[in-house]
Each structure stands twice: as structure tokens, then as C-alpha cells.
Amino acid sequence: SAVISQKPSRDICQRGTSLTIQCQVDSQVTMMFWYRQQPGQSLTLIATANQGSEATYESGFVIDKFPISRPNLTFSTLTVSNMSPEDSSIYLCSVENRVEETQYFGPGTRLLVL
Amino acid sequence: AQSVAQPEDQVNVAEGNPLTVKCTYSVSGNPYLFWYVQYPNRGLQFLLKYITGDNLVKGSYGFEAEFNKSQTSFHLKKPSALVSDSALYFCAVRVDSNYQLIWGAGTKLIIKP
């Protein structure tokens, strides 16, 4: 498995501002993923972030709105830019353990935009 | 299109009774099947998976699931439910070496004392 931490765990932000979410893993991983989840609902993949390459964004998500950094094999950040109330959600990072062929998730960041 | 269905939004079970949370899938290729659990205000926790081998897989907290290829199902089961099993359960599938997961809508499991 993997131990994954996210910062902040929650935040309340004003519209028009930006928030950067950090994801730290206790081991080196090639593949990291960023998801969005409305409370009680399913997960929506925002992007796949592999170290050494540009993030790959899913339909409906763009780099200008959700820039991602992946500077090394244990860390990634997701920025939610120019926030609006519609961005209020839970943001989750996950990592792929290639040996176990399993994704493991961080605890999530709960974002409320006013 | 590839998809995962969890036909029940909510499942109610009395404590001590067996529980089943249903999952069916539609993919082209060999499925890798997963169950995750999400407790209130928590991230997702991996429960169990099927990739190959024995169709009955056992996971954390006494849960098990059976892969049924002909019915394209991967139902989650537990012989005796606990109140602490109350949570949101997600089924997910991916195909072969494609690492992206396709997610079900989730099933809220409520165990009543």
C-alpha cells in the first residue's frame, strides 16, 4: 500500500482566488491521479500526473483552471484557479502501486468556495 | 462504452445479518475489479480486488467478493454486518494495463442495530 497525505484537509475560500492542494506519498510512484468528488457522489478524474511529463487532463478539465505540478516521484500539487462556488468539492489524490496494480487514495481536501 | 453499475443507491441491513452490495460492469477486455469504502469525511480505502485466479476474493474487515464472468458481476458480501460497516461503497473497474479506473455511482450501506 502507500501512505498519502494531503494539505490542506479543508479550506474555505473566496471566489476569484486560487488554492493549491499538496499531495505527498511515502514512497516513489510513477503515476498520480487527481479526482473531484461531490459529497456522497462518485469520483470524477481531473487529470493523470506522471513525473517527468505534462499532466493529462480529462474532458471538461483544462490546465489553466487546474494546473498540476509533479516535481518528483513523491509529490504533486493541484491548483484550483479563479475559484467559483461551483468548485466547492472534495479533491482527492491517488497513486498507482504498480506491483499491487491498485490505486491508493489520500484523505481528501474539502473545499468550500463562497 | 465501458461502464460500472451499482444498481442500489442505498442498502439497509440489520446488524448481524449478511449483506450484499451489487456491482455489474461492461468492458471490452479483461477486467480488473475493485471495491473501495469511504467512511464519512474520509478518503477512499481499498477493500479488495480481483485481477486473476480464484473468483472469490477476500479483503479487509471480513468483506469478500465474487467475480462472475458470465453475469459480469462483482458483488461485495459479508456474512455478518456490523454497525461500523455503515459507509459509502464504490465499485471500480479497469481494463488490462489501462490504469484509469471507471467508477460506479456508489452505494450507501446502512447497518441498523
Region B13-23 average pLDDT: 98
* Residue B60: strand, helix, or coil: helix
| Cβ contact A42–B105 (<8 Å) | yes
CA–CA separation, B108 vs B8, rounded Å? Answer: 8
- Separation between Cα atoms, residue A82 and residue B92, nearest integer Å: 32
Structure confidence at residue A71 (pLDDT): 92
Which chain A positions have a beta carbon within 8 Å of B23's beta carbon? Answer: none
Checking if the pLDDT of A56 tops 80, the result is yes
Per the CB < 8 Å rule, is B46 touching A1? yes
Is B75 strand, coil or helix?
Answer: strand
Q: Kindly report, residue by residue over A72-96, the tens digit of the pLDDT.
A: 999 999 999 999 999 999 999 999 9
Helix and strand numbers (H, E) in chain B are: 0, 12
Categorize the per-residue pLDDT at B29 as very low, low, confident or very high, splitting at 50, 70 and 90. confident
Q: Which amino acid is at A65?
A: K
CB B70 within 8 A of CB B87: no
Per-residue model confidence (pLDDT) at position B99: 82
Say if A8 is an interface residue toward chain B (CB within 8 Å): no
The predicted-structure confidence for B44-54, as pLDDT tens digits, reads as follows 999 999 999 99
Tens digit of each residue's pLDDT (9 = 90 or more) over A58-73: 999 999 999 999 999 9
Looking at residue B97, what is its pLDDT?
66
The answer to whether B43 contacts A92, with C-beta atoms less than 8 Å apart, is: yes
Between the alpha carbon of residue A70 and those of residues A76, A84, A99, A105, B39, the distances in Å are 5, 25, 21, 17, 29
